[in-house]
Amino acid sequence: MPTITTRDDAEIFYKDWGTGRPIIFSHGWPLNADAWDNQARLVASHGFRAVAHDRRGHGRSSQTWDGNHMDQYADDLAELVEQLDLTDAVLVGHSTGGGEVTRYLGRHGSARVSKAVLLGAVPPLMLKTAANPEGSPIETFDGIRAGVAADRSQFYQDLSTPFYGANRDGSTVSQGLRDAFWLMSMQVGLKGALDCIKAFSETDFTEDLKSIDIPVLVAHGDDDQIVPIRAAALQSVKLLKNAVLKTYPGAPHGLVGDFEKAFNADLLAFIAT
C-alpha cells in the first residue's frame, strides 16, 4: 500500500489516481479515504490527479496513541503534500476533513495550494460557547464519546441514519451505503476515534479562516443533522476573504443521490475555472 512516513514515524496511507493538477481529499470522522472514491474517480476522469489519505488513527494509517488532534492532522497533510511534491493543488475537506484543510491553510499557508473546498465542514467551531451561541452543547459531544466507548459498532450503525438523512421522509438511502459507513467506521482505532471527537468539536478555526487568502467553495446541506449549517458554513463565509457559498436544500451531512450529483457538478466547475 502506498504510504508516507511522518516525522513521528506514523504511516499515512494514501490513494493516488490520475494525472494533472492535484485535488487532495480529506475525509470526515469516523471514515477514511474510501468515502471520497466517487469524487476521486470523477476528477481523475476529468484530467486531474486525485489524492486521498486516511487520517492517522483511521483506516489503513497508523493508530498512534498521541497526535490525534487538529494541528497534527494538518501537519500530516502538509507532509503528504510535500513528500509527493504537490503544487497548485485544490484541497477538498468534508466535515472533520474540512477542519483539517482549514487548519492546514492557517498553519502552513497556501504556497502549494490555489483553492479549497469545504463540504459540510466543522469550522469555525462546533461547540456552543458564550461567543458561539449557535454551536452544539458539550453534552452532545459527551454523548458521542459515551456511545463510541460503550458499543462503537452499534453506535456507528445508528449514526449512519442521521448522517445520510435516512430518518427523513422520502429517503432512498440504501442499506448497502449504511453498511459501508459502518465498515469504514469500524476501522478507526478506539483511542483515535475518541480523541478525534474532541478535535472536531472543540477546535476553534476562526483565526485560520480569517487568514486564508485563496478562493474557497463552502458547500453545505441545509438539513445537515451532524454539522448544522447555521453554526458552520453560514459563519465560515463571514470570516473568509474570498468565499462562494453553495447550499443544497434538504441535503444531509453525507451527500447521496441528486445531492451528491449537484455537489459533483459544483466541484468540477470550481476546480476547472
Hey, which residues are catalytic here?
A: 95, 224, 253
> Concatenated DSSP letters for 41-83?
HHHHHTTEEEEEEPPTTSTTS---SS--SHHHHHHHHHHHHHH
Residue matched to cell numbers 447555521 = 230
Are residues 120 and 224 in contact, defined by beta-carbon separation less than 8 angstroms?
yes
Q: Which residues, other chains included, contact 41 with Cβ-Cβ below 8 Å and sequence gap of 6+?
A: 17, 50
End-to-end CA distance of the chain: 33
For 52-75, letters b (16+ CB in 10 Å) and e give: bbbbbbbbbbbbbeebbbbebbbb
- Cβ-contact 93, 121 below 8 angstroms: yes
C-alpha span between 257 and 244 (Å, rounded): 23
C-alpha span between 154 and 122 (Å, rounded): 24
> What are the phi and psi torsion angles at 118 (to 5°)?
-115, 110
